Structure 1
Amino acid sequence: MAGRGYTIFDTGIGRCGIAWGDFGIVGVQLPEAREIETRGRMLRQYPNARELRPPLNVEIAIEGIVTLLRGQPSDLSDVTLDMSGIHAFNARVYAFTRTIPRGETRTYGEVAASLRASGAAHSVAQAISRNPFMIIVPCHRVLEAGSYADRISPNGGTISKRRLLSLEVAGSTSSKTLFDVLLPVAPPRPQG
């Protein structure tokens, strides 16, 4: 690869965008209401990128994203992400989030505890809200405890966490039900 490129591609939920550079994927954009808006966001976020035919490793990532958005299993764990410019804590959050199995969710607090940063739930939420690698880093699998926030990062376009989770659950063989995933129940608090 030489320099930054991007392309717009079809999925079951609309036209998405993906940008890449010499060291891997730099961003994924889920559909906006209209393709021109998706393209405009890509150009604003990656002003030095040119619209190009994607190289093989990006084509593989696109194929995985398309498959996942069709509600079918897809393993994106081998997709190389360019984390240059990403804060070190956010990179740790993204690496952990990539390990959450399809159709399952975690809370911000659970992610923080897994990273041995138990008081950092707010920092996890901030990292998730800045996720530039939509779907590849499945931030829709990380939720607020005790309530269901349907917000997704700006790269999520008009798509909600609820919709992405419902796509995953529809084709999932997980033991969790759709209700469990969409409306997670916080564990009971100790009395006393």
Structure 2
Amino acid sequence: MRRGYTVFDTALGRCGIAWSDAGVVGVQLPEAREIETLRHLFRQFPEARELRPPPSIEAAIDGIAAALRGHDVDLTEIDLDMSDVAPFNQRVYDYVRQIPRGETRIYDQIAAHLHVGGALHSVANALAKNPFPLIVPCHRVQGAGNGLDKASPHRGIISGRRLLALEGALPEAGLTLFDALLVVDRARAAH
């Protein structure tokens, strides 16, 4: 199956996306430099070639860019190619995709929903390996100690706290200056 990739501009930097005929196979959110974004994308999808995105991928790109501007977009209709994703991880991702914008869950809730008691470590591992950030909004899932500022390999330099702030899920108190400015920018854009 042929895979393509492209990079695209967003309000927070250049993102990358890779796809197959079945759908998106991965998303790389911005790193500090575009070359790092590409390096992460190539490491994960070395067989992908730079191609013009088909209409379904263009729609995914538009949705990701809008979400990174703080707009309320529904990314659940984006087709994902999970042929290389472990079955348990697929179940986790399917559940996480249904978490409403601006809401959060904890690992325990996901494990309970999947009827796999004591699977906190497995849920955490699945989310750490999430190749579809934003489309599978793993930033809406928190572990003990909340972990909102933890790095994720596909989230680039964008923290979970910043993504939740874009969604309006965090109170302005306690945010970093950058995150507080995003909340203000989002509020201005709404008016």
Contact 2:4 2:18 in 1 (8 A): yes
Q: TM-score, normalised by structure 1?
A: 0.86
Match of 1:148 in 2: 146
Number of residues of Structure 1 aligned to a counterpart in Structure 2: 174
Distance 1:33 1:109 in 2: 33
Give TM-score scaled by structure 2 length. Answer: 0.86
Task: Tell me the residue number matched to 1:178.
Answer: 171
| C-alpha contact 2:23 2:81 (8 A) present in aligned 1 | yes
Taking the TM superposition and a 5 Å limit, the aligned residue runs for 1:45-84 are 45-84=44-83
Mapping for residues 7-156 of structure 1, pairs under 5 Å = 7-145=6-144, 147-149=145-147, 150-156=149-155
Structure 2 counterpart of 1:190: none
For residue 173 of structure 1, what is the aligned residue in structure 2?
A: none
For residue 113 of structure 1, give the secondary structure of its aligned residue in structure 2.
helix
Alignment root-mean-square deviation, CA:
1.8
Query: What secondary structure does 1:178 align onto?
Result: coil
DSSP 3-state at the match of 1:140: helix
Q: State the shift of 1:99 in Å.
A: 0.3
1:57-89 residue CA offsets vs partner (Å, 9 max, x unmatched): 000001111111110100111111001121111
Is the contact made by 1:19 and 1:27 (CA closer than 8 Å) also made in structure 2? Answer: yes
The alpha carbon displacement at 1:42 in A equals 1.2
Secondary structure of 2:24's partner?
Answer: strand
TM-superposed CA distance for 1:53, in Å, is: 1.0
Counterpart secondary structure, 1:76: coil
Over 3 Å counting, the alpha-carbon distance change for 1:92 and 1:152 in structure 2 is: farther
Report the alpha carbon displacement of residue 178 of structure 1 after superposing the two structures with TM: 2.1
Q: Quick one: which amino acid aligns to residue 171 of structure 2? A: L
Q: Which amino acid aligns with 1:21?
A: S
Structure 1 residue runs of 5 or longer lacking an equivalent are: 170-175, 183-192
Contact in 1 for aligned 2:31/2:37 (Cα 8 Å): yes
CA contact (8 A) 1:129 1:152 kept: no
Q: Which residue of 2 aligns with 1:6?
A: 5
Amino acid at match of 2:65: V
1:85-122, Cα deviation, whole Å (9 max, x unpaired): 21111000000000000011000111111111121111
After TM superposition, give the deviation of residue 179 of structure 1 in Å.
Answer: 6.5
1:160-179 alignment to 2 at 5 Å?
160-169=159-168, 178=171
Cα displacement string for residues 24-47 of structure 1 (whole angstroms, at most 9, x for unaligned residues): 100000011101111121122111
Instruction: Quote how far apart the aligned CAs of 1:152 are.
Output: 4.0
**Farther-moved stretch of structure 1 (64-73 vs 149-158):** 149-158
Paired amino acid for 1:121: L
Residues 122 and 179 (structure 1 numbering): CA distance in 2 closer, same or farther, change over 3 Å?
farther
% same residue: 58
